[in-house]
């Protein structure tokens, strides 16, 4: 039997041909990745994966690597999904309070990055558990008279999911327009055959359902890596919800009292909710192939509130990286304290520099992360940054027991942010995310009390951690691939 080394083609051995093919493959892929203009670290990481693992790496990249949606599709999205005349947009912008002097430039940064101006609410409620959030959601759905819009990364078909779906079906049967949008990867059962069975009564009652980026493997680029991580609910354009809590028993302590995630959500009432509606309608129209969402459902007149609130939206459709920029800028504003809570901490270089800079200039910086995450690799990558931050003076706390899933940022005495975005590259650059910046001492104090309560379930990570060699190697390796996480 002839070995591969003995086989010749046009005078060259098969090994020589394979070497040349591998070289051409490596050069073409390297040029392809470089032209995408990612961060240098991310570019090098992907090149390493693709070259060292030729077949497996290419398959992984095809489904997880593409960074931008096709610009043509996005142009259709923004032209058709906004669905608003100049008059409607002007009506939206009427509720535009002046932010405090110290926040004027910060508000301008957000508006220039994502197009969403400062607005206001007359009621802002912080929700500290899945059970409380479920109660508030069911009450808002029950009170709705015109429409209910929901967008979720995870919508499970379980006890919590059935409770919400039953309420939505009842409202649809009453003639209220109900639209439910779920992410294909985050909600695989709802987006699949089981979901069609569960949604039969909902659809029969008049409810509308759509899936964001179906992960079809018959396409070369199924956009598996570009997800809607948003959690949005809007009732009648006046009451809205956003934050980190999904529709799942995993985040409902009434169903799973010992293991439910510790998470945070936000209920808003007032003009700022119309911008949340604006984002939902964009996502809904995009998920439906650019088809107009009949009836913009944006109340023209909403009483101005006393609480300044500004929505911040980011996603791969916009190079502005609004949430990333807003967080870094808010950290830069700090003079007294920065309290950051996040389940996944894989910071970009600018974000890491902002935190350590603040600590070095004397600002109290506290970081809260879970001790046990649902991803060992992400947890290891996060821990690889601890020593560097602690050396600068950052206090790092790990939440004990349950999975910690809250995503909040508190700065000094008057700034608070709650949203769906983690403090990592994926949320900053790949996922569709949304957050709310709330200005004012009262809300800041609520966030501070919540953070302090969570601290009682944390342990302070020692500045000198004793690790085995294999643990050090695992953390270092996880950090190497952190741009891909």
Task: Give the pLDDT confidence of 426-478 residue by residue, as tens digits.
Answer: 899 889 999 999 999 999 999 999 999 999 999 999 987 776 776 666 666 56
Residue 101 pLDDT level (bands cut at 50, 70, 90):
very high
When pLDDT is cut at 50, 70 and 90, the band that residue 80 belongs to is very low
- Range 32-42 average pLDDT: 62
What residues does each domain of the chain span? 12-64, 71-95+123-303, 322-484
- The reply to whether 322-484 shares the fold of 71-95+123-303 is yes
pLDDT one-digit tens code per residue, 116-172: 999 999 999 999 999 999 999 999 999 999 999 999 999 999 999 999 999 999 999
Residue 224 confidence (pLDDT): 60
Give per-residue pLDDT as tens, 243-293.
Answer: 999 999 999 999 999 899 999 999 999 999 999 998 998 888 888 876 655
Q: Strand pairing partners for 113? A: none
The percent helix, strand, coil of the chain (3-state, each to 5) is: 45, 20, 35
CATH superfamily of the domain spanning 322-484: Endonuclease Chain A (3.30.870.10)
DSSP state of 253: T
CATH of 71-95+123-303, one of 3.30.870.10, 1.10.357.10, 3.90.1300.10, 3.30.565.60: 3.30.870.10
Dihedral sign for Cα 68, 69, 75, 79, please: negative
40 three-class SS: helix
Share of the chain above pLDDT 90, in %: 56
Region 24-30 average pLDDT: 71
- Per-residue model confidence (pLDDT) at position 1: 46
Q: Cα 421 to the chain's mean position, in Å?
A: 4
Strand 232-235 relative to strand 123-127, pairing: unpaired
What residues are annotated to the active site? 229, 231, 236, 405, 407, 412
Tokens of 314: 């980011």
Please report the pLDDT score of residue 290 as a whole number: 63
Q: E-strand spans in 290-359?
A: 307-314, 337-341, 345-346
Give the C-alpha separation, 153 to 226, whole Å.
Answer: 12
For the cut 90, the answer to whether the pLDDT of residue 94 exceeds it is no
Q: What's the whole-number average pLDDT of the chain?
A: 84
Average pLDDT, integer, range 50-56 = 64
| pLDDT of 28 above 80 | no
- Give the integer Cα–Cα distance in Å for 288 and 286: 5
What would the mean pLDDT of 352-363 be, rounded to a whole number? 97
Residue 381 has pLDDT above 90, yes or no: no
């Amino acid at each position: 039997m002839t070995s591969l080394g003995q086989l010749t083609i046009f005078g060259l051995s098969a090994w020589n041909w394979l070497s040349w093919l591998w070289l051409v493959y490596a050069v073409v892929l390297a040029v392809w990745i470089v032209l995408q203009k990612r961060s240098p670290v991310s570019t090098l990481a992907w090149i390493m994966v693709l070259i060292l693992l030729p077949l497996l790496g290419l398959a992984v990249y095809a489904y997880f690597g593409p960074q931008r949606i096709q610009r043509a599709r996005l142009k259709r999205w923004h032209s058709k999904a906004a669905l608003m005349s100049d008059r409607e947009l002007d009506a939206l912008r009427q509720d535009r309070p002046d932010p405090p002097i110290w926040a004027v430039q910060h508000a301008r940064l957000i508006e220039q990055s994502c197009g969403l101006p400062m607005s206001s609410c007359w009621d802002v409620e912080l929700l500290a558990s899945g059970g409380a959030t479920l109660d508030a959601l069911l009450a808002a759905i029950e009170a709705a008279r015109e429409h209910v819009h929901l967008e979720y990364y995870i919508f499970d078909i379980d006890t919590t999911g059935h409770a919400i779906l039953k309420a939505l079906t009842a409202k649809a049967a009453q003639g209220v327009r109900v639209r439910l949008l779920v992410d294909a990867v985050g909600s695989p059962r709802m987006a699949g055959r089981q979901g069609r069975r569960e949604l039969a009564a909902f659809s029969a009652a008049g409810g509308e359902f759509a899936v964001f980026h179906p992960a079809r493997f018959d396409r070369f680029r199924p956009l598996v890596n570009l997800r809607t991580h948003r959690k949005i609910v809007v009732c009648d354009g006046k009451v809205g919800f956003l934050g980190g809590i999904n529709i799942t028993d995993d985040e409902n302590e009434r169903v799973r009292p010992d293991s439910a995630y510790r998470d945070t959500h936000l209920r808003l009432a007032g003009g700022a909710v119309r911008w949340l509606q604006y984002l939902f309608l964009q996502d809904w129209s995009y998920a439906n192939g650019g088809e107009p969402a009949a009836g913009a459902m944006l109340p023209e007149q909403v009483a101005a509130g006393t609480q300044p609130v500004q929505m911040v939206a980011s996603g791969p459709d916009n190079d502005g990286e609004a949430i990333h920029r807003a967080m870094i800028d808010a950290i830069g504003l700090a003079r007294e304290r920065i309290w950051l809570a996040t389940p996944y901490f894989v910071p970009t270089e600018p974000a890491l520099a902002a935190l350590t800079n603040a600590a070095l200039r004397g600002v109290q910086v506290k970081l809260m992360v879970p001790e046990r995450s649902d991803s060992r690799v992400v947890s290891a990558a996060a821990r690889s940054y601890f020593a560097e931050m602690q050396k600068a003076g950052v206090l790092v706390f790990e939440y004990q027991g349950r999975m910690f899933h809250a995503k909040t940022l508190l700065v000094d005495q008057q700034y608070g942010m709650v949203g769906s975005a983690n403090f990592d590259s994926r949320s900053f650059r790949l996922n569709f995310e949304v957050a709310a910046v709330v200005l004012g001492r009262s809300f800041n104090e609520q966030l501070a009390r919540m953070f302090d309560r969570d601290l009682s379930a944390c342990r302070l990570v020692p500045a000198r951690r004793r690790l085995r060699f294999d643990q050090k190697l695992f953390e270092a390796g996880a950090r190497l691939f952190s741009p891909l996480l």
